[in-house]
Every structure is written in C-alpha cells, then in structure tokens.
Amino acid sequence: MAASLAAGLMHAVPASAQPASCDGPGCTPNITGGVVLGAPCADTAYHVFGTTSWGRLVFCGSPRRYEPRYFRSPSMAGVKEFGASCAGYENWVAQAPDGLFLSCQSNNGAPRWDRGDDE
C-alpha cells in the first residue's frame, strides 16, 4: 500500500494547480494605495507602483536624476520575468516576482522585459 501511495504522489501536479499568471495591476502584489500624483517617493527600482485615491496607476520614477516622484504609469502588464520576451507589450511596464520595476524594451530587434529604472 505504501508503494502505491508513493507512486501516486510522484505524478505531476495538474495544470490547474499551478500558480495563475498575472496580466494586470489587479493581481500585482505590493502596490501602494493612496499615493498622491507628483508626491516624493523613495525607491525607483523595487515595488514602484501605487494607486491614487481615484484609482489611477502611478509609478515612482526619477527623470533626469531629479528627486523621485510619482508619475502616471504606462499600461501595466502585471508580473513578468526579467529578460523574458515581451512581444505585444511594447512600451508597457511590469513588475518582476521579486518586485523589480520592468519595462518592455527592444534589444537587437527582440522585445524583452528589462529594468525600468535607469540602472
């Protein structure tokens, strides 16, 4: 009986039990609520997304190396993997599973998720 139980545990997990993909801001973890557009913010690399009191998506950015502020966000693709293809999401932003800010950029003709902060 123990052998049949062990054999049953070795079968692959059904696809429905795998984590669901996240394709938008609604399922993205650690988005800060109650952000004021234009307000100062601290981190332009990790967990940069927020929402205003009226629900607008914003991100913490530092254009031209000025002090970081919250800006209106481009379209957000949810949680994506750094370096993965982002075909169809050109000029969109996303968050990596570890919270890294990602941007869909073309590199040598291939769109890839790359760092969204200027590092």
Of 59, 38, 57, which is closest to residue 115 (Cα–Cα)? 59
pLDDT at residue 51 tops 50: yes
User: Does the residue 53 lie in any domain?
Assistant: yes
Query: How long a stretch of residues is the chain?
Result: 119
pLDDT, averaged across the chain:
85
pLDDT at residue 13 tops 50: no
Per-residue confidence (pLDDT) for residue 119, from 0 to 100: 62
Integer Cα distance of 70 and 59 in angstroms: 5
The string of pLDDT tens digits covering residues 26-42 is: 999 999 999 999 999 99
And the tokens for 73?
A: 């966000």
User: Does the residue 14 lie in any domain?
Assistant: no
User: Does the residue 15 lie in any domain?
Assistant: no
Average pLDDT estimate for 75-94: 96
3-state secondary structure 56-78: CEEEEECHHHCCCEEEECCCEEE
User: Does the residue 17 lie in any domain?
Assistant: no
Number of domains in the chain: 1
User: Does the residue 34 lie in any domain?
Assistant: yes
Average pLDDT estimate for 65-94: 95
Domain of 67, in residue numbers: 22-115
User: Does the residue 13 lie in any domain?
Assistant: no
pTM: 0.80
The CA-based angle 73-59-61, given to 5 degrees, is 110
**Token pair 């795998």 is at which residue?**
18
Of 94, 118, 117, 91, which is closest to residue 105 (Cα–Cα)? 91
User: Does the residue 5 lie in any domain?
Assistant: no
User: Does the residue 6 lie in any domain?
Assistant: no
